[in-house]
Structure 1
Amino acid sequence: MLWNIIYIGGDYLKIKWKLLLICIAIPLMVGGIAGFISRNSMSAFEALNKPPLSPPGWVFPVAWTILYILMGIASYLILTSDAPQKRINKAMKLYVLQLFFNFLWTFWFFNLELYLFAFIWLVALWLLILITILSFSRISKPAAYLMVPYLLWVTFAGYLNLGIALLN
């Protein structure tokens, strides 16, 4: 069927819907669990002094949902590529590691209010995302491109996190 075929990067790919949905669900679940764990910290967050350009609170869940979906699609493209399995495995280990760092940042920042430590952790996360993008780019350029908005958002989050660390 036509709706089961997608054109990406010069190739026609048959969509494996179950795998695609699992790949999207994993980062969404990680983000959902992190949000659930930190939900009681949001009132304290609202009371913090924030740097200029801080968006309203509703922007964060919207942005993260979009980013998690893009990350899931990127991981799907890596898993379904024709690259050597060793290269795919390395890329996916990096992907899982950065997702783990992403999850823990929420805990450090919101639950423990360790703002400076969370910023340092975010720098490590940023580096892991960059390395993941580079690894993905050797397998699938579209997958790497789908991770770029995530890197940009984490860059912005670093600005906000450092600002909060310095102002509070």
Structure 2
Amino acid sequence: MTITSPERRHRGSGALVGLVVFVAAVAAAALVGVLLSPDTAQEYARLEAPDWAPPSWLFGPVWTTLYAMIALAGWLVWRRFGWKGARLALSLFALQLLLNAAWSPLFFTLGLRGTAFADIVVLWVVLCATIALFARLSRPAAWLLVPYWAWTTFATLLSFTMWRLNAGG
């Protein structure tokens, strides 16, 4: 894949509007999890978990930081290349947000832990592809997604372990 020069650089108020859109999109993905899974801390405490599972209070600060980095990463690519110039990368970016938003309702609200595990595995694969494409377009954007990738890798293992520990038979 050959990357051509940036199709369009968004500057000034257009860039600021774009940043607001990316923050809103990422916030919407986070909000889906909160609204569709309002009792995650209680459910998490109720489930059998491995000794290495983090305490529930840690998830809020971690995800807040990660979501800010995710929004900034997407915005950096969009600002430099626009939708047309980064269509595949930004489409995968949007897909990983949807997969991210689906995990909490699947795991906590619906109790579909195996399905949630499948969701997070697909999320991990899509995130890897997103990072690879972002690296060709904007190395800072790709690096901003690396902590998210690391956390998702950890969360994938935790999701699998908790699914198996709570399989009920």
TM-score range for the pair, normalised by the shorter chain length: 0.7 to 0.9
Question: Runs ≥4 in structure 1, deviation > 6 angstroms?
Answer: none
Within 2, Cα distance between the matches of 1:74 and 1:20? Answer: 10
Q: Distance in 2 between matches of 1:103 and 1:85?
A: 22
- Helix, strand or coil: the match of 1:51? coil
Aligned equivalent of 1:39:
38
What amino acid sits opposite 2:88 in the alignment? K
Q: Which has the higher strand share?
A: 1
Deviation readout 1:132-154 (Å, 9 max, x if unpaired)? 11111111010011011111001
Structure 2 stretches lacking a partner, 5+ long: 1-9
Matched, 1:76 2:58: no
Q: Do the aligned partners of residues 42 and 158 (structure 1) sit closer, same or farther apart at CA in structure 2, a change above 3 Å counting?
A: same
Give the Cα separation in 2 of the matches to 1:42 and 1:156.
18
Q: Distance in 2 between matches of 1:76 and 1:113?
A: 34
How many positions carry a matched residue from both structures? 155
How far apart are 1:86 and its partner, in Å? 4.0
Cα drift, residue 87 of structure 1:
4.1
Quote the residue 2:61 is aligned against.
Answer: 62
Distance 1:96 1:160, change over 3 A: same
User: What percentage of aligned pairs have identical amino acids?
Assistant: 33
Which residue identity is paired with 1:60? F
1:23 aligned partner? 22
CA contact (8 A) 1:91 1:135 kept: yes
Distance between the aligned counterparts of 1:128 and 1:26, measured in 2?
17
| Residue 7 of structure 1: aligned partner | none
Q: Verify the 8 A CA contact 1:91 1:136 in the aligned structure 2.
A: yes
Q: Output the aligned Cα RMSD.
A: 1.8
Q: Give, as a single letter, the amino acid of the residue that structure 2 aligns with 1:151.
A: W
